[in-house]
């Protein structure tokens, strides 16, 4: 049990009852210890049932079906958009664009900004060394195509964004600054206010990868001040197959389409087409309908627990884990060593034991972690490691699970004679 920001007891065992999968066994009858939520979160019954109900009772295609079910499905799909707009504090529901995941949303922004001529030979895009590959590769592609220059913030030895020289990095030449809010590998929470202030001083647009932020902290895009915020459904107890791009309406309205197809047009002749206003302009084809319903239910679920409470639980469990992990001889946490300004993903090395071998021994004890580069190879290289083991926590993680992890790691050291 954790005492939350609101001062109420957060009953993690009661929360776990909503997640049947957390009650199952693996590895010949051992209870599952799921510590891979930064990869994907588990889903509560409420979300799965909302999706099931949609398919079993209201299923039809949206917007174009002129019948009762079509109207119900459209209302359910657009209801998800309204709910998400509310959940992130978007001034208008028309600012919420659905994509298939956060990667697609980031590719969408990079592509349409390039197509709009915002990037060019004399322009620069600034990212950071701690980005997920999905916030590196789309900008490499976009700058290569347009002749713009890609630059990046470094990371300090303690895993923080290196803000020294921010004024030389973000300049009048900067067209876009794209950075993560919470690092999926280091766990670092970045000081967005400083970066956004500087970017706007020089007229650059700011894209925030909030994939690890929206699930674990209260988010209000209106007060954040960024121009685009991207996140994904499946890390916030929602379904796979839906990602969100929030963009300031005036910026979205000036951008060209991404993919061409159904529902993104105004009118089509054989020679040319004109395009629908946002968000439809960026959503070609049949959208993720049931996923929108599920994502709306996920927002309901998170709000019922309270995002402040979820953040307080995440903070408490991360502090507990950092403390316990650092008791292990030879374990090195890569990233901030304390829970201050830190999210619930902890990457570490365990002596010379390769992360694959660590994960394999843990799996034999029912413990699920991630091993490898976590789609953040440059961040690993920055810290001189090829790969790490990552334990990541969420609203259902218990201290007992952290204890099981620590026991498992000690057993791993014994197994490999380390």
Binding site residues, other proteins, CB under 8 A: 27-28, 354-357, 360-361, 364, 371-373, 377, 380, 386-387, 415-416
As a whole number of angstroms, the distance between CA 87 and CA 238 comes to: 13
Which positions are catalytic?
Answer: 375
- Residue with smaller CB distance to other proteins, 28 or 223: 28
- Residue with smaller CB distance to other proteins, 161 or 375: 375
The tokens of 210 are what?
């909030």
Alpha helices in 88-224, H assignment, sequence order: 102-115, 137-146, 166-169, 192-201, 221-224
Q: Are 175 and 206 in contact (CB under 8 A)?
A: no
Q: How far is the CB of 363 from other proteins (least distance, A)?
A: 8
Is residue 366 left, alpha or beta, with left meaning phi > 0 and alpha meaning psi from -120 to 50? left
Q: What is the largest CA-CA distance in the chain?
A: 71
Q: How far is the CB of 233 from other proteins (least distance, A)?
A: 23
The tokens of 311 are what?
């953040």
3-state secondary structure of 334: strand
C-alpha closest to that of 129 among 322, 333, 335: 335
Q: What is the number of other CB atoms lying within 10 angstroms of the CB of residue 274?
A: 9
C-alpha closest to that of 178 among 223, 134, 126: 126
- Residue with smaller CB distance to other proteins, 38 or 236: 38
As a whole number of angstroms, the distance between CA 130 and CA 190 comes to: 10
């Amino acid at each position: 049990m954790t005492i939350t920001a609101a001062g109420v007891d957060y009953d993690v065992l009661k929360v776990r009852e909503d997640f049947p999968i957390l009650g199952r066994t693996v590895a010949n009858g051992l209870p599952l210890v799921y510590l891979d939520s930064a990869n994907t979160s588990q889903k509560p019954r409420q979300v799965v049932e909302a999706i099931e109900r949609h398919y079993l009772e209201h299923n039809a295609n949206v917007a174009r079906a002129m019948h009762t079910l079509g109207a119900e499905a459209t209302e359910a799909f657009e209801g998800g958009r309204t709910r998400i707009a509310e959940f992130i504090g978007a001034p208008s529901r028309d600012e919420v664009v659905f994509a298939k995941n956060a990667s697609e949303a980031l590719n969408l922004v990079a592509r349409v900004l390039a197509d709009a001529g915002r990037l060019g030979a004399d322009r620069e895009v600034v990212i950071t060394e701690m980005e997920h590959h999905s916030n590196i590769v789309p900008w490499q592609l976009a700058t290569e195509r347009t002749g713009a220059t890609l630059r990046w913030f470094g990371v300090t030895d303690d895993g923080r964004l290196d803000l020294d020289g921010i004024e030389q990095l973000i300049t009048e030449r900067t067209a876009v600054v794209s950075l993560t809010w919470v690092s999926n590998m280091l766990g670092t929470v970045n000081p967005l206010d400083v970066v956004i202030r500087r970017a706007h001083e020089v007229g650059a647009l700011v894209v925030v990868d909030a994939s690890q932020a929206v699930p674990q902290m209260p988010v209000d895009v209106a007060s954040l001040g960024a121009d685009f915020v991207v996140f994904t459904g499946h890390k916030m107890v929602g379904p796979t197959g839906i990602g969100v791009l929030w963009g300031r309406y005036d910026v979205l309205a000036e951008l060209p389409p991404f993919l061409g197809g159904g529902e993104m047009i105004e009118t089509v002749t054989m020679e040319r087409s004109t395009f629908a206003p946002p968000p439809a302009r960026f959503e070609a084809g049949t959208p993720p309908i049931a996923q929108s319903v599920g994502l709306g239910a996920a927002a309901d679920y998170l709000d019922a627990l309270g995002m402040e409470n979820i953040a307080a639980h995440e903070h408490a469990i991360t502090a507990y884990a950092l403390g316990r992990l650092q008791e292990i001889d030879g374990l090195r946490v890569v990233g901030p060593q304390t829970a201050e300004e830190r999210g619930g993903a902890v990457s570490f090395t365990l002596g010379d034991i390769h992360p694959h071998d660590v994960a394999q021994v843990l799996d034999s004890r029912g413990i699920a972690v991630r091993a490898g580069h976590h789609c953040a190879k440059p961040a690993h290289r920055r810290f001189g490691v090829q790969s790490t083991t990552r334990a990541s926590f969420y609203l259902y993680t218990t201290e007992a699970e952290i204890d099981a992890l620590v026991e498992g790691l000690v057993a791993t050291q014994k197994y490999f004679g380390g």
